[in-house]
Structure 1
Amino acid sequence: MHVSVEVVGEETHEIRVEDDDTYADLVRAVDLSPHEVSVLVDGSPVPEDQPVAVERVKILRLIKGGAY
């Protein structure tokens, strides 16, 4: 299955997933850490250890670098 992964405010990626891939695997596939993001399905957060069950997700970065 292919999943459209939108990193909010950045870019959208098309990721191929296997049956046992989790939302954390999707996050890693776009070079982010599961500890710095929330994965949203239909606007609601999903647990990172759950298997991917949809074809479109949004990733919201919780930590963003920058100068003070």
Structure 2
Amino acid sequence: MVTVEVVGEDTYEVDVGALDGSEPTYADLLAAVDYSPHEVSVMVDGVPVPEDRPVEADHVRVLRLIQGG
């Protein structure tokens, strides 16, 4: 399980074992919580990670880059 914290919004628990592919990526993790890599940045330990990198963390923070208003 990976905890996905969308800053200022919700927190999700995602079972990476249930995601498609043998090595789920951060993009797969975002898709599981209905976000696009184009609208957010994924942070692990305060450092941005590429969306095509395999998930190796058990907690990620997601920062929305664009918000309506």
TM-score (norm: length of structure 1): 0.91
User: How many angstroms does 1:28 deviate by?
Assistant: 1.0
Give the aligned length.
65
Backbone CA RMSD of aligned residues: 0.9
Of the three residues 52, 57, 62, the one matched with 2:60 is 57
Residue deviations 1:16-66 (CA, integer Å, cap 9, x gap): 003511001111111111101000000000010000001000000001111
Counterparts of 1:65 and 1:15 in 2: how far apart (Å)? 26
Q: What 5-or-longer segments of structure 1 have no aligned partner? A: none
Q: What SS is found at the alignment partner of 2:38?
A: helix
Give the share of equivalent positions with the same residue, in percent. 65
Q: What is the TM-score with the length of structure 2 in the denominator?
A: 0.90
Distance in 2, matches of 1:3 and 1:30, equals 11
Moved over 3 A (4+): none
For residue 37 of structure 1, the aligned residue among 35, 40, 53 is 40
